[in-house]
Amino acid sequence: MKTSPKITPETVPRSARPGLVLACVSACTVLVISLVAAINLAVPMIAASELRPDSAELLWIVDAYIVVFACLVIPGGAAGDRFGRKGMLLTGLVTFAVGAAVSAVSVTVPVMLIGRVLTGLGAALVLPNGLAVLVHATAPERRGRALALWAAVTGVAGIVGNIGGGALMSVGSWRSLFVAIVPIALLCGLWVLLAAPRSGRHSRSLDPAGTALFVAAIVALLVGIIEGPARGWGSAVVLIAFAFSVVLGVLWVVVELRVAHPLLDPRLFRIPLLRSAALGMLVMFFGNFGLFYLNASILQYGRGYSVLQAGLGVFPLTLPVMFGSRYVPELAKRIGVPATLSAAFLATGAGLFGLSTATEQPYPVYAIWLVVIGVGITLGLPCLTAEITAALPAEQAGVAGGLQSATRELGSALGVAVVGTALTASFTHGLPASVRAHDPVPRTIAEALTAAPAQHAEIVGAFASGAGTALRVASIVTLVAGAVAVAGAVRSGTRRRG
């Protein structure tokens, strides 16, 4: 009987070495997550461009990518489990490049949205399958550290998007951002082809009915949130959207409980560890990407920064992530996950509230609050990533990766929608009466400045006030929902000890 040769570190192919795989997967992760932040930096330029989007269209330009990303990331992970994670990762990177190319050449909002949807589809294939490739390429004893480093990369990715996007758009228009993405995505694909190992496949249903219901429920929810300020919270469109979201969500649960192989079994959320960690991940990204949506406009309109200065303006947030992430796993072991997460949500909520008071204060004050938020990211992401991964067996790595990505991106989408909605409502209410007298009432700062350029100071002041209100909303939601997530972590820890 022929036996396989013994595998040692020296005989493992270079493409299977965990360090190289970690670097490759991290590069792909930075690419798809950084675009979430970079598009926020481009919001002022897109608002004033020939596309002429209104406030709701502007939110959809940002959220179309995130919504598709969030809703399809679990199916993307399941597709990788069934058809091969490396192949799905490569497919995602190519789709991502195609979507960026469509966005780059768009001349109308609908075409732009098509491009954003395609990039979201590509990202939904990249993120969970990249993580699954990493999990299967890393020995169990090294997996915790690898996941912590990967989580740190996801925290830094938003800053990379701000700084890299700012540098690109400082020498070109918002289109230069999408043009640059195309070759980067293709180069990442080549790296994956050469470096990433293949892993085993599992026969899994892709559950098209459950996927369609989940996507429809999330889109209906966001339609209600985004259209509320423009149409009125009591309007038929908004009320019907919220009603459809509830009905479709219930139908999704019913369908998933009845199918033989659900894409995401709702019964998994009976696991306290998984439930609290998923909520915590959603809350963390809700606050942080709500901030990213506002930050570029605050710095560019409120402080007169260039797009590159605005990108660099959030750099203080990365300092705790870069220098503190490596110590978080050991800290969590010493003081416990609940205590670590409590500090994370407290820092994030306090930082957002502090920023709401610093929109018109000197930049050093603004930077200090960014550092506080960075501390929250540093403490929260490694713990939450490890908790979600630990709650499911290794053969469900695709589901674990998909769930992590879904909660991240759903939190980001909700953060952008809620914070953007709060900004629009407060901003329009604070505009001078003469500007509100225009028909239609300007709902973005670009529209208001075009309608009444002589009232620049008053309009910018209304925007700063609206941004402060939106940040306070984000702070309150983060603190309250974070407390719920921590309470769940305490209960799950008690049950495990019991």
Backbone angles phi, psi at 305, to 5 degrees: -75, 155
Residue closest to 460 by CA, chosen among 451, 474, 443, 448? 448
DSSP 399-427: HHHHHHHHHHHHHHHHHHHHHHHHHHHHH
How far is C-alpha 89 from the chain's CA centre? 18
Rounding to the nearest 10 degrees, give the CA dihedral for residues 403, 408, 410, 413.
-160
Burial class (CB in 10 A: 0-12, 13-18, 19+), 468: buried
Residues in Cβ contact with 50 at an 8 Å cutoff, skipping those fewer than 6 apart: 107
Compute the chain's Rg from CA coordinates.
Answer: 22
Per DSSP (E only), the strands in 70-208 are none
Residues in Cβ contact with 269 at an 8 Å cutoff, skipping those fewer than 6 apart: 275, 278
**210 contacts 256 by C-beta, under 8 angstroms:** yes
Give the tens place of pLDDT for each residue, 22-80. Answer: 888 999 999 998 888 789 888 888 988 888 888 888 888 988 998 888 888 888 887 88
Per-residue pLDDT of the chain (498 residues; tens, 9 = 90+): 444 444 333 333 434 577 788 888 999 999 998 888 789 888 888 988 888 888 888 888 988 998 888 888 888 887 887 888 888 999 999 999 999 999 999 999 999 999 999 999 999 999 888 888 887 777 777 777 777 788 778 767 877 887 888 889 988 889 999 999 999 999 999 988 887 777 666 666 678 888 889 889 988 988 888 887 777 788 898 899 999 999 999 999 999 888 877 777 788 788 878 888 889 999 998 988 888 888 888 888 888 888 889 888 888 988 898 888 788 888 888 998 889 999 999 999 999 999 999 988 899 999 999 999 999 989 998 888 888 877 776 666 656 766 777 788 788 888 888 998 899 889 998 999 888 888 788 888 888 888 888 898 899 999 999 999 999 999 999 999 999 989 887 876 655 555
3-state secondary structure of 233: coil
Q: How many CB atoms are located within 10 Å of the residue 11 CB?
A: 9
pLDDT of residue 3: 45
Superfamily of domain 14-206+263-497: MFS general substrate transporter like domains (1.20.1250.20)
Q: How many CB atoms are located within 10 Å of the residue 144 CB?
A: 16
Residues in Cβ contact with 41 at an 8 Å cutoff, skipping those fewer than 6 apart: 161, 162, 165, 166, 169, 296, 307, 310, 311
pLDDT of residue 203: 64
Q: What is the token pair recorded at 280?
A: 């915590």
CA 377/CA 155 separation, integer angstroms: 7
Q: What is the token pair recorded at 389?
A: 């991964």
pLDDT of residue 356: 93
Q: How many CA atoms lie within 13 A of 14 on its CB side?
A: 5
Q: Is the pTM of this model over 0.75?
A: yes
**34 contacts 161 by C-beta, under 8 angstroms:** yes
Quickly list H helices, 196-235.
208-231
C-alpha distance from residue 282 to each of 1, 272, 371, 407, 478 (Å): 52, 16, 21, 5, 10
CA quadruple 27, 276, 37, 219: dihedral positive or negative? positive
**445 contacts 459 by C-beta, under 8 angstroms:** yes
Contacts within 8 Å (CB) and 24+ apart, 410-413:
410/70, 410/71, 410/218, 410/282, 411/281, 411/282, 411/283, 411/284, 411/285, 411/286, 411/289, 412/36, 412/66, 412/70, 412/285, 412/286, 412/288, 412/289, 413/63, 413/66, 413/67, 413/70, 413/218, 413/222
Identity of residue 441: V
**328 contacts 385 by C-beta, under 8 angstroms:** no
**76 contacts 91 by C-beta, under 8 angstroms:** no
pLDDT of residue 205: 64
Q: How many CB atoms are located within 10 Å of the residue 334 CB?
A: 9
C-alpha distance from residue 230 to each of 59, 220, 426, 464 (Å): 12, 16, 12, 20
CA 53/CA 443 separation, integer angstroms: 10
Mean pLDDT estimate for the chain = 84
DSSP 417-485: HHHHHHHHHHHHHHS-HHHHTSSSPP-SHHHHHHH-GGGHHHHHHHHHHHHHHHHHHHHHHHHHHHHHH
pLDDT of residue 1: 43
Burial class (CB in 10 A: 0-12, 13-18, 19+), 431: buried
